[in-house]
Every structure is written in C-alpha cells, then in structure tokens.
Structure 1
Amino acid sequence: MTDLLNVSGLSVFYGAKAQAVENVSFAVPSGKVVALLGANGAGKTSIMKAIAGLIPARGAISFDGVDLAGTPARERVKRGIVYVPEGREIVREMTVRENLVLGGYHLGGRERKDRTAMVLDLFPEIANKADGAAWRLSGGEQQMLAIGRGLMAGPRLLLLDEPSLGLAPMLVRRVFDRLRAIRQETDLGIVLVEQNLVMSMRLCDDLYFLRGGMLVGHRSAEELKDSAARQEAIDVYLGAAA
C-alpha cells in the first residue's frame, strides 16, 4: 500500500537549543489512521505543526511521494493536508455555518455549498444550530464544528490534535463515533494526537508512542486488542499519563 505521508528523521527546535522533537520517523498509508500518543510535552503537537508547515523542522516530510521541503502552509492545505488544532479555535462570534465557510474559503460557491451540506449531514448535532452563534455550542459540538471546518477543505490527510481534550466521556464517544463514520465513508488518512489510549485504539490502525520528543514505541491496534499487550504498552510507554 502506498504511503500517503512519510515522515523521516524529523527534528524540531524552538530557539537555538530547545529541542522539542528528535529524529522521529513514521508513515501513514492511504486511508489509514495513525495515532501519536504521549504525555504533555512529548512533542506531539510540534510534529503536527511541522507536517502542516506551521513551524520549521529538519528531516524529510513527503506527501503522496512529493517532498514538502519549502512548501508553505497555505499550499499544503491546497494539496490536501488540513490541521485541526488543539483547543478547537473556532470563531465564536460567527455562526456555525460561517465557520464552515471559512474552512472552504478556497472553494467555488457550488462546491462550498455541497461540502457544507455534507458536513452538516455528518454532524446532525450542529446541523439544527447552523445559523446560531458558535459560542452557544457545547464543548463536544464545538469539536464537531472544528472537525467539520477541517473537512470543508476537502482534505486527503487530516491532522487532529487532541479532539477529546476537555470533553466529558460521553461527548468523547460521540466525537469518535463521527470519526469512525468518516473513515468508513472516505479514503481519508488521519494523524491523531491523543492521550486517550482506549479511544485511539478503537479508531486507529497503528499507534506510535512518544516521550521527551522521541519515538519510543510502536504497536498496531490489532496487537493491543490483547489485554496483556495493552497493559504492557501502558506500563512501558505511557505510565501515569495513560
């Protein structure tokens, strides 16, 4: 299977000496979901921002076989790489529909209208609030809006940064249910940053574990179905962070 995304020897520095990510390598095959797991400060968000072109990085990042070196963030979006940041970052004063339109700003009117209808069909929780202010949505609904806004761009690779952050368990399940529906209905590749191992393994094909900016382990979701293997991964890679 062809790799949609290939990250090789990725390193990220903040300032002259502060290294956030060191020599990280992984791949995302077409249509697959890969999780990056680890505690706060493990380097997960830095990796996502580097892939999205939002911060400089060393190493190689290729998308659909093409090296992305020197490619600005705006161009990466046009090629199909869309980043949904931690904390949702919706425009609270705008309506739900206006937030979606922002996500598809580069599309023609007809395509933008069709994609808006698709997103609202996928997330019925926000469909009947489409013309209301985004700040009125619950936390889970705001996360659905953030994901929907990302889908408006027609991505081939969706970078999701901690979609469960700050949500009650019931809302986490609802968000992940929608993500499972997305992967069943499309060939979208997803990189998921999470701290929730149980929810991640239900959605993902492969899970990579990070600590201190370094890749310290890899397991397939199939391997982690075994309770002993799952507990071993928690003890060895996540510890108290799990």
Structure 2
Amino acid sequence: MTDLFAIRDLSVTYGAGAPAVERVSFTVGAREVVALLGANGAGKSSIMKALAGLVPASGELLFEGEPVSALSTRQRVARGIVYVPEGRAIVGSLTVRENLILGGYQVHAARRRERMAMVLELFPEIASKVERAAWRLSGGEQQMLAIGRGLMAGPKLLLLDEPSLGLAPLLVRRVFDRLAGIRADGDLAIILVEQNLQMTMRLADGIHFLRSGRIVGHRHRDDLRTGAARQEVIDAYLGAASHHAA
C-alpha cells in the first residue's frame, strides 16, 4: 500500500515541560483508517493538532511524498488534510447551512454546492434542519455537522478527534456507521482518535496504542477478532477500568 501520509519522529512540547508527544512514527495508506487509542493525557489530541498545523512540533511529515511540516493549517487544508476537533467546535450562532459553507470556503461555489448535497444526503438528520441554528441540534446531530463541515473541504485525509465524545451509545453507532459509509464510497483516508475500542474496530484497519506521548503497541483489526484478544490489549495498553472487550 502506498503511503499517503508518513509521520516520522513527531514530538510536541508545551513550554518547558515534559514532551506531550515523543518521537511518534506511523504511516497512513491511501483509503486506510488508522486509529490512535489511549487514556486521557496519552498525547492523542496533541498529535492530531500537530498534524493539522495547530501546535508547533518537530519531526518530519510527508503527505503524498512531499514535506508539509512548514505549511500553515490553511495550506494543509488546501492540500487535503482536514481536522475535525474534539468537542465538535461548530459555530452555534450560525445555521447548519452556514457552518457547511464555512467548511468549504476554499472551494469553488459550484463544487461547494455539490459537496453540500453529498453531505446532506449522507446525514439526513441535519438535511431537514439546514436553516436551524447549530446550537439547537442534538449532540449527535452536531457531531454529524462537524464531520460534514470537514467533508466540505474535499479532504484526502480526515483527522477525526474523539467523534464519540459525549454521545449516547445509539448515536455513537450511528455516527460510526456513517463514517464506514464514507470510507466505503470514496478515496478518503482517516486518522481516528478514540477511547472506544469496540467502535474503533468497526472502522480502523490498524490501531496504535499510546501511553505518555509514545506509541507502545500496534494491532491490526484482524488481530482483535476474539474477545480474549481484545481483553489482552485492554489489559496491556488501555486499562480495564475504562474499556470493555465486548
């Protein structure tokens, strides 16, 4: 598989403290879904922000074979790297339609209309509420809007940070089902940050486990088909208190 994105020795340090991320390396292939799992404080969100260009970082980032470490966030979006942050971060005072337009601000108007139609078809829950203020949507609908806004930019790589955060189990399944549909229908690759192992396994090809800013293990989805295998990685990398192996 050809690497779409290669991350080599990525490190992130805030101020004079200990590194939040230390020499992390992994690759993402075209149309591949790679997940980063770990407890709170493991460095997952710092990695995502560094990949999006939102925090200073050292190391080498190669996207489609070209270095992108020196590019701004806006330039990375133009190249096809789009970040959907933890907590959704939609603009509550704007309507659903306006939030989607904001996501496609770098795209030609005709193409933007096509993408909006695609997003609304993908997420019918928000299609009937396009003129409604975003703050009035449910948590699950807001997450769908956040993902849809990211898709408006026409990404080649979507950085999804905790899409299940704060959602009821039924809504989590619905959001992940839609992500599986996106993955099946297009050429999109995804880096997914999650704490929910069971949901992650429905989508990811490979899973990297993080602890204290470092990758401490890796499993392919096929390695986690049995309950015993899932329990093994929970005990080894995640901590049984916050995860289950169902």
Fold similarity call, TM over 0.5? yes
Q: Measure the CA separation in 2 of the matches of 1:5 and 1:226.
A: 30
Q: Which residue of 2 aligns with 1:124?
A: 124
- 5+ residue gaps, structure 2: none
Which amino acid in 1 is paired with 2:75? E
Q: Summarize the alignment of residues 91-130 of structure 1 with structure 2, pairs less than 5 Å apart.
A: 91-130=91-130
Deviations 1:42-98 (A, max 9, x none): 000000011111111111111111111211111000000000000001011111000
What letter matches 2:93 in structure 1?
E
Q: Give 1:181's aligned residue.
A: 181
Q: Which residue of 2 aligns with 1:232?
A: 232
> Could you say which residue in structure 2 is the equivalent of 1:44?
44
Aligned AA for 1:168?
Answer: A
Contact 1:12–1:57 under 8 Å retained in 2? yes
Distance 2:171 2:203 in 1: 15
Normalising by structure 1, what TM-score? Answer: 0.98
Q: Which residue of 2 aligns with 1:61?
A: 61
The reply on whether 1:80 has 2:67 as its aligned counterpart is no
The 2-side partners of 1:73 and 1:5 are apart by 16
Give the letter aligned to residue 147 of structure 2: I
| Whole-angstrom CA distance in 1 between matches of 2:199 and 2:75 | 32
Match of 1:70 in 2: 70
Query: Contact conserved, 2:53 with 2:69, CA < 8 A, in 1?
Result: no
What is the root-mean-square deviation in Å for CA atoms of aligned residues? Answer: 0.7
SS class of match (1:209): strand
Write the distance in 1 (CA, Å) between the matches of 2:68 and 2:98: 31
Q: Structure 1 residue runs of 4+, over 6 Å off?
A: none
2:218 aligns to what?
218
CA distance in 1, matches of 2:179, 2:203: 8
- Distance (whole Å) between structure 2 residues aligned to residue 143 and residue 59 of structure 1: 31
Trace 1:184-195 onto structure 2 (pairs within 5 A): 184-195=184-195
What are the ranges of 5 or more consecutive residues in structure 1 without an aligned counterpart? none
> 1:69, 1:220 → 2: CA distance?
28
Q: Deviation per CA, 1:127-184, whole angstroms, max 9, x where unpaired? A: 0001111111100000000000000000000000000000000000010010000001
State, as a whole percentage, how many aligned pairs show the same letter: 67
**Alpha-carbon shift at residue 17 of structure 1 (Å):** 2.9
Determine whether 1:146 maps to 2:165.
no
Count of equivalent residues: 242
1:134 aligns with 2:134: yes
Q: For the residues of structure 2 that align with 1:69 and 1:130, how far apart are their CA atoms?
A: 36
Aligned to 1:18, the other structure's residue is in SS state coil
